[in-house]
Amino acid sequence: MPYVLIAPGAYLLPTGLQVGGAPRSLIGTGAAKPRLTRTSQGPIITIDPAADVTFEHLEISGATGTTPIGNGIECGDAPVGARVVHLIDMLLANNSGNNLYSRGCTISAVRSEFRNAGFAGVATQDTTGTFDGCSVHDNQGGGIGFDGGLYTLTNSFVYRNTGGAGINLFASTTGSRLEFNTVIDNSGGFGGLECNGGSVPSTLPNNIVARNTPRNTYGNTCTFPSSLLVDSDISQLHFKSPDAAPYDYHLTAGSIAIDAATLSTVDHDFDGQARPNGAGRDVGADEYVP
């Protein structure tokens, strides 16, 4: 597999970067993530058909434009599975469109952050997506849109997104899995977690869904076993810093989320720490470690 190592610094791409062909990896080096941006309007990264590409330890930020849309990474309009994108330790931020847009692709993201987009943090259609240990926050068009396709979202924080739901799940097939996530302080649209799957039911266990407006959940096709749905008084959840920046929704001692999850095969949390740590697994993205 070809590897391209990217030295620290900022890279100004006049027309963006198109990536395709055989499996390849673009890997940033140095303590700070190298930054890729585009000086003209449109997406910074475009994924070509039949691509299998890994992006690691990079910042993709600053896309502008409405025609074409200023998405951070755009993977679209291919048959499902024809384009494969892996994101590892990535920052997608401050793009005028969506930080990540996918239509008909296969996407995996671990330890990655999606923030401050003009549209959604993550916007997908007919996609196979796996997201673990991610944070999606402060996006102006909602946090995550899962429209059709098949999705797994675990160990992730989705918070302070506006203009749309924290998570919008439109499950057209059975099998999507949303477990051990903390969805909090999202506002606009339908609030925290919109579950609009027609007749397709989804079971979403062991999540914290709290203090979202106008409501925590919307729709009647999802159930939330062993999840904590808390409207306004979140004091019993004992978050580290829920009301002042830098916002931190990790658990502290005394939280009602500690040891409250049902049995699961998930063996780690947002920080990569082992689950369980104690008598049982903790509800939400964080496993409390004293």
DSSP bridge pairs for 137? 115, 159
Given this model, what pLDDT does residue 12 score?
A: 98
Q: What is the pLDDT of residues 186-231, one digit of tens each?
A: 998 888 999 876 557 789 999 999 999 999 999 888 899 999 999 9
CA neighbor of 100 nearest in space, from 65, 67, 66, 63? 63
Residue range 23-78, pLDDT digits in tens: 999 999 999 999 999 999 999 999 998 899 999 999 999 999 999 999 999 998 65
Q: What is the pTM of this model?
A: 0.96
Q: Supply 125's token pair.
A: 């259609």
Q: Do residues 75 and 96 touch, judged by C-beta distance below 8 A? A: no
Distance CA(14)–CA(38), nearest Å, equals: 6
pLDDT at 202: 86
pLDDT of residue 154: 98
pLDDT confidence of residue 115:
98
Instruction: Give me the residue label for tokens 């009647």.
Output: 220
Q: Which residue matches tokens 């673990």?
A: 132
Q: Is the per-residue pLDDT at 81 higher than 90?
A: no
Average pLDDT in the 73-90 region?
85
Residue 239 confidence (pLDDT): 98
* Mean pLDDT, rounded, of the chain: 94
More confident residue, 79 or 73: 73
